[in-house]
Amino acid sequence: MPIKGISDKRRIPRDGKIKLGTKKVSQRTGKEYPVQTDYLVVPDPIKELYGERPKEIDIMFASDDEEQIFPQYYKCYGATGLKCKGDGITAMVMAQGELIHKDCTPEDERCRKEGCKPVATLKVLLPKIPGFGVWEINTSSWNSIVNLNSCIETIKTMTNGRISFIPLKLKYEPHTGQIYDKKTDKHIKKEVYVLSITVDETIESFYKRYRLPSPEEIPELAHMLEVNKKFQMMLESKNKVEKPDACAECGNEIVSTERSTADQLIDYSVKHYGCELCEACLMKRYQGENGGAAQ
């Protein structure tokens, strides 16, 4: 028997992480600080295929569910790991071993000081790298998050909601954006590198390859739709005739005794569509029209 709450859970194992920067040591303080690179920081298995400093790699997604392939939350980390996670309205906090809900206030000064920031995790498959697990890429870049959401939505629009197991390209490209400078308390223009998703073919060929075909392009479906259309027209015609409770021939109440065969009833109904008769009158007409007793 399955275990409720466990047996219904699914997840693909993580093969590793791809980073968007490295850490350097400050000569003044001796502490490490993050530095963005202009290439994807990848482990050795990926370097063997794409080189030391790749800016573009082949990817796929393992699901069409955006929560599984690109979850995005405000997050705050502490010495022991994740302390708080929220969506800007509601947050989940671990307090005394219990998970509690509270208002999410990322703009609050205390939250900012504790390091609360948006964190999005892109989870991709690398089809040209051995292994079946996902590779994770974390980003807090506003431009990267907007780019990736827009690319995913555009692709799913062209494929009627599908994005799983479609060959795609992940790019890491320069972008001139407005960056807040804490020292001057102003926004300045600066070149940064951002993530985006594209395809290795024209939009026209991609759309033709992955869109759903129209009914007219599937002979079996086109035939079924034509039959259904005719049947609907028959139903509409039938509904326009008020169905009587009494036989149109003798006036008796129409009650089926199921003595007639299916073939007899169908044959008669085709010839006298819309004329309601009791079974006795129906059989009389059937016998008269067929020159004798019913078979």
What is the reported pLDDT for 289? 63
Instruction: Answer for the pair 272, 288: CB distance below 8 angstroms, yes or no.
Output: no
Q: Across the chain, which distance is largest between two alpha carbons, in Å?
A: 113
Question: Where are the strands (E) in the chain, listed by range?
Answer: 14-17, 19-25, 32-41, 56-59, 72-78, 81-86, 90-95, 98-103, 117-124, 134-139, 168-181, 186-198
Res 295: pLDDT: 46
The CA–CA distances, whole Å, from 67 to 72, 149, 166 equal 8, 11, 18
| Sign of the CA dihedral running 195, 201, 204, 206 | negative
Per-residue pLDDT at 294: 47
Q: What is the pLDDT of residue 134?
A: 95
> What parts of the chain have a pLDDT lower than 70?
1, 214-223, 225, 230-231, 234-249, 251-279, 282, 286, 288-295
**What is the per-residue pLDDT for 168?**
97
CA geometry: angle 162, 163, 164, nearest 5 deg: 105
Are 106 and 74 contacting, i.e. CB atoms less than 8 angstroms apart? yes
Specify whether the CB–CB gap between 256 and 245 falls below 8 A.
no
Q: How far apart are CA 292 and CA 289, in angstroms?
A: 8
Q: Are 208 and 201 in contact (CB under 8 A)?
A: no
Residue 274 DSSP symbol: T
**pLDDT value of residue 239:** 47
CB count, 10 Å around CB of 277? 21
Predicted local confidence at residue 231, as pLDDT? 65
Q: What per-residue confidence (pLDDT) applies to 240?
A: 46
What six digits make up the tokens of 95? 């307090």
SS (H, E, C) 239-270: HCCCCCCECCCCCCECCCCCCCCHHHHHHHHH
| DSSP helix/strand/coil, 7 | coil
> Which 8-state DSSP code applies to residue 133?
S
72, β-bridge pairs: 120
